[in-house]
Amino acid sequence: MAFAQSLQARRPEIAIFFATGPKALEREILASWPHEQVFRLHGRPWRRNRDLISAGFWLEWAKAMGSSWRLLERVSPRLTVGFGGYSVFGLVLLSSMRGIPTLIHEQNVELGRANRLLSHLALTVALSFRNERLLSKAPEKYVFTGMPLRPDLGIRSREEARGALGLDQGRRTLLIIGGSQGSRIMNACVAGLIESYGGRLSGHWQFIHLTGHEDHSRLEGIYKKSGLGYLVRSYEEDMSFLYSSADLVLSRAGSGTIFECAYFKRPMILVPHPRIQARQQRNAEIVSAKGGGMILPEDDLSPQALFEALEALRLPPDRLERMARAMGELSPREGNERLVSIALQKLGAP
């Protein structure tokens, strides 16, 4: 979506069509886009080798290829851009077979399964993280662009942001992004942290907590009883004031959140998701190696471990500032512009 918004802003005469999978989240993200330019494709992920001997699996893939072929016939694109995932695998594959230029973008450190297979066909693979192994392996194919971020993200001063949110100007602020899928264990840990260590935290920390809808009421009740400074929301569309207010971010190690933190120069405590451990662990390791964050594995996640991490990051006083500078060096801020320029070059419309 961020890429499409930037491309449209730069060249409004170019028609942009979206192909999505069955996930409700994808439809929510694209709700503001003209519905006649959004197409839903069939598709099914392959997670285990035994999927490949399932008749149902191949039936779904036949439907996916058919819907992708019909979309290409209807739209006749001059360029197909893929952002990974099984739902658009067939679309990029068929585009390549039909001679349509293709560009794929990888959000994580290592190529996901779909992008790994498609990389043999795509003309260009854009990378969010600087993967030196891939860049040196095939410099004519792989290019480091950084992550395209929403154009509406805007950096404010901490004073302005905290004033707008009603937060204390003098306390360090922890932003907890606990509302994403698979993050309820983080919400539970933070609840335990507040109940067990709230008195010891109150002189140093205040909290902004995105809880998700299911945990919102329970967590807000816990914060109210704690006496801590806090702002609890189930969801936030515009993250600009929240990131600008924060000194530190606690979240999973998804690439989108990592690069938003890099844009705002906010250090992180990263809790890689166990179900997508390999990708998120590698993302977290890059952030940690750069000095922009610390890793707290889910198996070790507890109120005590989180309290100890906050204490360790609070002292010496300049530690978070040094981590923030390192975080800001993780990715170029012009990721949108770089990716849009590559797309326009392939369209012959620089």
Query: What is the CATH classification number for the domain harbouring 308?
Result: 3.40.50.2000
On whether residue 236 sits in a domain, the answer given is yes
pLDDT exceeds 70 at position 27: no
For the record, the structure tokens of 323 come out as: 């981590």
Co-location of 308 and 173 in the same domain: yes
Half-sphere exposure of 218 toward its Cβ, with a 13 Å CA cutoff?
12
Co-location of 8 and 72 in the same domain: yes
Q: What is the pTM of this model?
A: 0.88
pLDDT at site 123:
84
On whether residue 250 sits in a domain, the answer given is yes
On whether residue 119 sits in a domain, the answer given is yes
pLDDT at site 234:
92
**Confidence band for 50, pLDDT divided at 50, 70 and 90:** low
Co-location of 63 and 167 in the same domain: no
**Confidence band for 22, pLDDT divided at 50, 70 and 90:** low
Range with the lowest mean pLDDT among 116-120, 201-205, 215-219? 116-120
Higher pLDDT, 33 or 98: 98
pLDDT at site 30:
74
Range with the lowest mean pLDDT among 36-40, 64-68, 251-255, 282-286? 36-40
Instruction: Return the residue matching tokens 């451990």.
Output: 277
pLDDT at site 24:
64
pLDDT exceeds 90 at position 1: no
For 59-71, what is each residue's pLDDT tens digit?
877 888 898 999 9
On whether residue 280 sits in a domain, the answer given is yes
Report the percentage of the chain scoring pLDDT > 70. 92
Co-location of 323 and 337 in the same domain: no
pLDDT exceeds 90 at position 265: yes
pLDDT exceeds 80 at position 181: no
Co-location of 222 and 342 in the same domain: no
Average pLDDT estimate for 295-321:
95
What is the DSSP code (8-state) at residue 128? S
Report the percentage of the chain scoring pLDDT > 90. 66
On whether residue 232 sits in a domain, the answer given is yes
On whether residue 67 sits in a domain, the answer given is yes
Co-location of 210 and 143 in the same domain: no
Average pLDDT estimate for 193-202:
95
Co-location of 198 and 293 in the same domain: yes
pLDDT at site 53:
63
pLDDT exceeds 90 at position 2: no
pLDDT exceeds 80 at position 16: yes
**Confidence band for 52, pLDDT divided at 50, 70 and 90:** low
Average pLDDT estimate for 265-269:
98
**Total count of domains within the chain:** 2
Contact 296, 268 (CB under 8 A): no
Co-location of 201 and 129 in the same domain: no
Average pLDDT estimate for 160-186:
90
Co-location of 132 and 55 in the same domain: yes
Co-location of 243 and 143 in the same domain: no
On whether residue 152 sits in a domain, the answer given is no
Say how many Å lie between the first and final Cα of the chain, rounded. Answer: 20
Co-location of 219 and 141 in the same domain: no
What is the DSSP code (8-state) at residue 51? G
Amino acid in the structure at residue 140: E
| CB proximity list for 197: less than 8 A, separation 6 or greater | 303, 307
Give how far Cα 124 sits from Cα of 160, 254, 290, 326, Å: 41, 23, 27, 29
**Confidence band for 342, pLDDT divided at 50, 70 and 90:** very high
Nearest to 260 by CA among 333, 338, 160, 157: 333
**Confidence band for 114, pLDDT divided at 50, 70 and 90:** confident
Co-location of 289 and 342 in the same domain: no
On whether residue 153 sits in a domain, the answer given is no
pLDDT exceeds 80 at position 45: no
- Provide the residue range defining the domain that includes 26: 2-147+333-347
